[in-house]
Amino acid sequence: MANNFKKVSVKDDSRVELHDALGLTGAEISINVLPAGASVPFVHAHKQNEEIYGILEGEGEAVIDGETVSLAAGDWLRVSPAVKRRFFASQHSAIKYICIQVKANSLGGYTATDAEIM
């Protein structure tokens, strides 16, 4: 049964990617921390993958196709693949967020349709 799951502990690094650590086959998940006043050092977009961001702690903002969106703990954000994005911590607060990257339009089912009660 041990081959049916894998558990890892995440340390307090500035970026942790879980794809290899967990042997993920359908998503990439990263946990990211930006210190107060810092930003991701580049703008990026994707060819096929949408991203879902969950703000775990702190506050900041994202610039999404030129539009500034305020972010705070508890916020969730979905970004389409081709959209240009960049993330910033506020000047007075670090921001910690999770990023879940999955192929757009690939979800064949979700809990209500994919789960099987035993």
In a domain, 21, yes or no: no
In a domain, 116, yes or no: no
CB under 8 Å to 78, separation ≥6 — which residues? 50, 51, 52, 53
Predicted confidence at residue 60, as pLDDT, reads: 98
Predicted confidence at residue 1, as pLDDT, reads: 46
In a domain, 73, yes or no: yes
In a domain, 43, yes or no: yes
Q: Is 89 exposed, middle or buried (0-12, 13-18, 19+ CB in 10 A)?
A: buried
- How many structural domains is the chain composed of? 1
Predicted confidence at residue 2, as pLDDT, reads: 60
In a domain, 111, yes or no: no
Predicted confidence at residue 4, as pLDDT, reads: 87
Contact (CB, 8 A) for 84 and 42: no
pTM over the 0.85 mark: yes
In a domain, 36, yes or no: yes
Predicted confidence at residue 61, as pLDDT, reads: 98
Over its length of 118 residues, how does the chain's per-residue pLDDT go in tens digits?
A: 467 898 988 887 888 889 988 999 999 999 999 999 999 999 999 999 999 999 999 999 999 999 999 999 999 999 999 999 999 999 999 999 999 999 998 888 777 778 787 8
Predicted confidence at residue 27, as pLDDT, reads: 92
In a domain, 101, yes or no: yes
- What is the CATH number for 83? 2.60.120.10
In a domain, 5, yes or no: no
Predicted confidence at residue 109, as pLDDT, reads: 78
- Record the tokens describing residue 44, joined without a space: 């990026």
Domain that holds residue 60: 29-105
